[in-house]
Chain A
Amino acid sequence: MSYPVRSAERVGGQVLQLFHNTGHAMFMLLEATWFIQFSFGKRSRHETVTQLYITGIKSLAVISVVAMFTGMILALQTGLELRRWGQEEFIGSAVAVTMIREMGPFMTGLIIAASVGSAIAAQLGTMTVSEEIAALEVMSINPNRFLVMPRLVALTLMMPILAVYTNILGILGGAIVGTTQLGVSLTSYMNNATEFATNKDLYVGLFKAFIFGIIITTVSCHQGFMTSEGAVGVGKATRRSVIISFLVILVVGYMITRMFYL
Chain B
Amino acid sequence: MIRFENVTKVLGRRAVLDDISFEVGEGETFVIVGLSGAGKSVTLKHMIRLMLPDSGSVIIEGEEINHLGRRALQEVRSKFGVLFQSAALLQWMSVCDNVALPLREHTKMPEAEIISQVNEKLELLGLGDAGDKYPSDISGGMQKRAGLARAIIMNPKIVLYDEPTSGLDPVTSRRIDDLIVNMREQLGITSVVVTHDLHSALAIGSRIMMLHEGRIVENATPEGFIKSKNETVQSFLASQYITKKGKWEELIHE
Q: Which B residues lie within 8 Å of A77 (CB)?
A: none
- B249 within 8 A of partner (CB): no
Shortest beta-carbon distance, B36 to chain A, in Å?
Answer: 15
Q: Is the CB of A43 within 8 A of B105?
A: yes
Partner of A140, one of B78, B84, B104, B150: B78
CA distance A134 to B85 in the complex (A): 12
Interface string of B201-242 (1 = CB under 8 A from A): 000000000000000000000000000000000000000000
Question: Smallest CB-CB separation from B97: which chain A residue?
Answer: A46
Q: Is the CB of B86 within 8 A of A131?
A: yes
Q: Is the CB of B86 within 8 A of A138?
A: no
- B50 within 8 A of partner (CB): yes
Q: Is the CB of B84 within 8 A of A131?
A: yes
- A137 within 8 A of partner (CB): yes
Q: Which A residues lie within 8 Å of B48 (CB)?
A: 138
Partner of B82, one of A43, A130, A135, A141: A135
Q: Is the CB of B105 within 8 A of A141?
A: yes
CA distance A134 to B84 in the complex (A): 9
Question: With contacts A134-B50, A135-B82 known, is A140 near B106, CB below 8 A?
Answer: yes
Shortest beta-carbon distance, A228 to chain B, in Å?
Answer: 12
Instruction: Scan residues 50-91 of chain A and give those whose CB is less than 8 A from a CB of chain B.
Output: none
Partner of B105, one of A137, A138, A139: A139
- A195 within 8 A of partner (CB): no
CA distance A140 to B68 in the complex (A): 14
Q: Is the CB of B85 within 8 A of A139?
A: no
Q: Is the CB of B88 within 8 A of A135?
A: yes
- A132 within 8 A of partner (CB): yes
Q: Is the CB of A141 within 8 A of B101?
A: yes
Q: Is the CB of B88 within 8 A of A137?
A: no
Q: Is the CB of B77 within 8 A of A138?
A: yes
CA distance A16 to B212 in the complex (A): 33
Interface string of B68-108 (1 = CB under 8 A from A): 00000010011010101110111100000000011011100
Partner of B88, one of A43, A134, A140: A134
Q: Which B residues lie within 8 Å of A127 (CB)?
A: 90
Q: Is the CB of A138 within 8 A of B104?
A: no
Shortest beta-carbon distance, A145 to chain B, in Å?
Answer: 10
Q: Is the CB of A132 within 8 A of B77?
A: no
CA distance A130 to B74 in the complex (A): 22
Q: Which A residues lie within 8 Å of B80 (CB)?
A: 138
CA distance A43 to B85 in the complex (A): 27
Q: Which B residues lie within 8 Å of A137 (CB)?
A: 50, 77
8 closest A-B pairs (Cβ-Cβ)?
A135-B88, A131-B88, A140-B74, A131-B84, A138-B82, A132-B88, A130-B86, A139-B102
Binding site for B on A (CB under 8 A): 43, 127, 130-132, 134-135, 137-141
- A–B pairs, 17, beta carbons within 8 Å: A43-B104, A130-B88, A131-B84, A131-B85, A131-B88, A132-B88, A132-B89, A132-B90, A134-B88, A135-B84, A135-B88, A138-B48, A138-B50, A139-B101, A139-B150, A140-B78, A141-B102
